[in-house]
A and B are shown apart, each in its own frame.
Chain A
């Protein structure tokens, strides 16, 4: 404690440099915890998939649709209790940046298979009774300031992009599982088919009577359509979610690579700052040694200074991310449902901040430890 004054005085010897370095670390840690939270959110999203639900999609890619005729046959597969389907609509509200997850579903069969879509009975009935009706997540309602029974217009990035699609919001759902997300938009497949004429199911979802039958069900379906015009790939919903999330490539690798690049960039910034700061005061370090400060004590003081800079920066960056995303309810336009900076991620960020301090402070601290007193004083004099 008695050395605090000395540490504080050295930290604020060049206020602008210290504050800018802290801000650099804060920005880096903000980015790091954000990227890591994207990964944890995507991992959580995989867990949303039910063990008793399976998905059949095109063997080539999820962007290719499947024939409607598959619906009849899939119902006959042993082990399958119910079948439904959905299609990706690519809905946009007003502006391309107002993009969110929009699904055309066969409502009669879809809703019973997804208890996660928690809707009051009266609203469910209203939705089922109207072809242009929509079920909207509460988060999306709040994001755009919509209200129940309001009619809104969307455009599709897939189906006649210039055409307006009017929808009436007849139901608002609260997800029973936060990872399901509250920024999804569901409407009737019949409406899509009626307006576009060329709509087809994007994927089929099967409810199994026994999760243990998943492997045999997948094998039966894919074998059946193996030589057809639209070969299939059947997998558990969890595996499907993973595929859906990674359709843009290996997101995990990409985000980790960016995270590592950020870490090393800021490591060099912090190390450079500490080196400059230490180099400016080799004479003072020699004076302190003359007064009796030991090598080990000087080493500890320099390391502490470095750690204080990176930890303060780290706390700023992590706290800003936690508050900002917490208050704004950011969900990545519906692609990152349940996005949050978890406490475990915040702790990892702070541990990295400590490591940054220790690594960046090591070289100048070691130089202070090895500093020859008489040569240094003579050189400076």
Chain B
């Protein structure tokens, strides 16, 4: 059985009295350990689909089943708890909290667990080690380069060992060298740590790092 199953998924936004359909009856299946790149033109609904899979938004119709659980039927509260256990999200603009150090940013998802301080420290140190930023643990985001910030963002996404890593254009705000480092890191997470990754991207070179590429255009999802 696939790790992620999307069935007959539709999303319609209501703006004033207007209904704006994003996509209709989308089906998608992702196996555990897969690295999927999701491409498509601007406004095609890639980020909307990623947000629905992450449980950040609710579909108009359809099912999203992750590890046997239909998250489309969950309440806001249940979704929050589910996200904390199963989703590691990587943003295009890193979205680190500027008032916290790299260590404290990575520790955030662990505050929602029952781990004690020492266990949290071990997890954070490991995650920062994986992204190669152990020596920058006490730095604030403003003291890091864009590439380093994104690596902290990745450490935050993997620190609680989630089921799914979802990345929304993770290299979209980086120069070519930093983007390459980030993609290599994601590839390593997939190959060495067997993480299942869904990555939205505009960049064909980034998409080529994945096992499979899907295109979403005019509401239709194709391989």
Task: Identify the A interface with B (CB < 8 A).
Answer: 2-3, 5-6, 9-10, 12-13, 283-284, 287-296, 372-374, 377-378, 381
User: How far apart sit A291 and B100, CA to CA, in the bound complex (Å)?
Assistant: 15
Q: Is B145 interfacial (CB-CB < 8 Å)? A: no
Q: Is B12 interfacial (CB-CB < 8 Å)? A: no
User: How far apart sit A6 and B83, CA to CA, in the bound complex (Å)?
Assistant: 20
Cβ A287 vs Cβ B91 within 8 A: yes
Q: Which residue of A lies closest to B84 (CB)?
A: A292
Cβ B57 vs Cβ A6 within 8 A: no
Cβ A2 vs Cβ B111 within 8 A: yes
Cβ B111 vs Cβ A6 within 8 A: yes
- Contact residues in B for A9 (Cβ distance below 8 Å): 97, 99-100, 104
Q: Smallest Cβ distance from A284 to chain B, in angstroms?
A: 5
User: How far apart sit A139 and B20, CA to CA, in the bound complex (Å)?
Assistant: 80
- Contact residues in A for B48 (Cβ distance below 8 Å): 374
User: How far apart sit A373 and B47, CA to CA, in the bound complex (Å)?
Assistant: 13
- Contact residues in A for B57 (Cβ distance below 8 Å): 372-374
26 contacts between A and B (CB under 8 A): A2-B111, A2-B117, A3-B111, A6-B104, A9-B99, A10-B99, A13-B98, A284-B95, A287-B91, A287-B95, A287-B97, A290-B56, A291-B83, A291-B108, A291-B109, A291-B112, A292-B85, A292-B87, A294-B76, A294-B81, A295-B76, A373-B56, A374-B51, A374-B57, A377-B95, A381-B92
Q: Which residue of B lies closest to A296 (CB)?
A: B77
Q: Smallest Cβ distance from A19 to chain B, in angstroms?
A: 16
In this complex, which of A288, A293, A296, A377 has the most chain B Cβ atoms within 10 angstroms of its Cβ?
A377
Q: Which residue of A lies closest to B113 (CB)?
A: A292
User: How far apart sit A373 and B56, CA to CA, in the bound complex (Å)?
Assistant: 6
User: How far apart sit A288 and B96, CA to CA, in the bound complex (Å)?
Assistant: 10
Cβ B89 vs Cβ A291 within 8 A: yes
Cβ B85 vs Cβ A378 within 8 A: no
- Contact residues in A for B151 (Cβ distance below 8 Å): none
- Contact residues in B for A290 (Cβ distance below 8 Å): 54, 56, 83, 87, 89
Interface residues of B in 3-54 (CB under 8 A from A): 47-48, 51, 54
Q: Smallest Cβ distance from B117 to chain A, in angstroms?
A: 8
Q: Smallest Cβ distance from A372 to chain B, in angstroms?
A: 8
* Interchain residue pairs A-B with the least CB separation, the first 8: A292-B84, A9-B99, A294-B80, A374-B57, A374-B51, A292-B83, A373-B56, A287-B95
Q: Which residue of A lies closest to B89 (CB)?
A: A290
Cβ A292 vs Cβ B81 within 8 A: yes
- Chain A-chain B contacts (Cβ-Cβ < 8 Å), number: 73
Q: Which of B76, B104, B108 contacts A288, CB < 8 Å? A: B108
Cβ B112 vs Cβ A284 within 8 A: no
- Contact residues in B for A289 (Cβ distance below 8 Å): 56, 80
The B contact surface, by secondary structure, is helix
Q: Is B185 interfacial (CB-CB < 8 Å)? A: no
Category for how many chain B residues contact A? 20 to 34
User: How far apart sit A89 and B127, CA to CA, in the bound complex (Å)?
Assistant: 82
Cβ A294 vs Cβ B99 within 8 A: no
The A contact surface, by secondary structure, is helix
Cβ B80 vs Cβ A295 within 8 A: yes
Known: A13-B99, A290-B87, A292-B83. 13 other contacts (CB 8 A): A6-B100, A9-B97, A13-B98, A287-B91, A287-B97, A290-B56, A290-B89, A292-B80, A292-B112, A294-B77, A374-B48, A377-B56, A377-B91
User: How far apart sit A10 and B92, CA to CA, in the bound complex (Å)?
Assistant: 23
In this complex, which of B57, B95, B98, B117 has the most chain A Cβ atoms within 10 angstroms of its Cβ?
B95
- Contact residues in A for B80 (Cβ distance below 8 Å): 289, 292-295
User: How far apart sit A252 and B83, CA to CA, in the bound complex (Å)?
Assistant: 57
Cβ A295 vs Cβ B95 within 8 A: no
- Contact residues in B for A381 (Cβ distance below 8 Å): 92-93
Q: Which residue of A lies closest to B162 (CB)?
A: A292
Cβ B109 vs Cβ A292 within 8 A: yes
User: How far apart sit A303 and B64, CA to CA, in the bound complex (Å)?
Assistant: 34
Q: Smallest Cβ distance from B14 to chain A, in angstroms?
A: 12
Q: Is B123 interfacial (CB-CB < 8 Å)? A: no
Q: Is B156 interfacial (CB-CB < 8 Å)? A: yes
User: How far apart sit A378 and B84, CA to CA, in the bound complex (Å)?
Assistant: 21
Cβ B84 vs Cβ A291 within 8 A: yes
- Contact residues in A for B81 (Cβ distance below 8 Å): 292, 294
Q: Which residue of A lies closest to B47 (CB)?
A: A378
Q: Smallest Cβ distance from A128 to chain B, in angstroms?
A: 74
Q: Smallest Cβ distance from A362 to chain B, in angstroms?
A: 19
Interface residues of B in 102-159 (CB under 8 A from A): 104, 108-109, 111-112, 117, 156
Q: Which of A5, A292, A373 contacts B104, CB < 8 Å? A: A5
Q: Which residue of A lies closest to B77 (CB)?
A: A294
- Contact residues in B for A5 (Cβ distance below 8 Å): 100, 104
- Contact residues in A for B85 (Cβ distance below 8 Å): 292
Cβ B56 vs Cβ A374 within 8 A: yes
- Contact residues in B for A3 (Cβ distance below 8 Å): 111
